[in-house]
Amino acid sequence: MYLALDVHYKTNYAKSVGLTFLTKKDEIPQERYVAIIKDVAPYQPGEFYKRELPCLLEIITKIDLDQIDAILVDGHVYVDNDGHYGLGGYLYEALQNKVPIIGVAKRGFYANSKTVKEVFRGQSKNPLHISAIGIDLKSAAQFIHDMHGNHRHPTLLKALDTITKSE
């Protein structure tokens, strides 16, 4: 089973959502998990993970991680080519390196071009920027490429984004 996570920040709180699914070809999630986080850390440039990580962990506490083969996050595993962690790397570390993390980012960083693989889906001219830890990068990129949907964003990741942003 796989878990996809995302967070959206509202005026006074954050909404964190997780969707579980069985295969990369699933178009409907198995389960949906939602958490409202009232005390959200302020945004700190260069340290976004300090704000987002607690929100993701709030969802993870509701899930049996022994059942999860990999976690997909909206963001990067590495922020540079030297292996400095982004959100995905910090999540991997917080989970004691037990669950592979696949970062799916809409934008690339100039500094991490060697730690990501661009994936083009559907007819989109814009790639998704895939990074990974605990799983081979090529396999992670292929997984995202093969997920259900004919557009840049896989069906379940688009659904996750919509749920996260809804009231």
Q: What per-residue confidence (pLDDT) applies to 51?
A: 86
pTM: 0.94
Q: What per-residue confidence (pLDDT) applies to 109?
A: 82
CATH number assigned to the domain with residue range 2-165, chosen from the 4 options 3.30.2170.10, 3.40.50.300, 3.30.70.980, 3.90.1150.10: 3.30.2170.10
Q: What per-residue confidence (pLDDT) applies to 152?
A: 96
Beta strands in 45-164 (DSSP E): 70-73, 101-105, 117-119, 128-133
Q: What per-residue confidence (pLDDT) applies to 118?
A: 97
Q: pLDDT tens-digit profile of 43-69? A: 777 777 888 999 999 999 999 999 999
CB 104 within 8 A of CB 3: no
- The domain ranges of the chain are 2-165
Give average pLDDT by consecutive 10-residue segment, the chain, 167 residues.
96 94 96 94 79 95 96 96 95 97 92 94 95 98 97 96 90
Rounded Cα–Cα distance for residues 80 and 64 (Å): 31
Handedness of CA 44, 46, 50, 53 (dihedral sign): positive
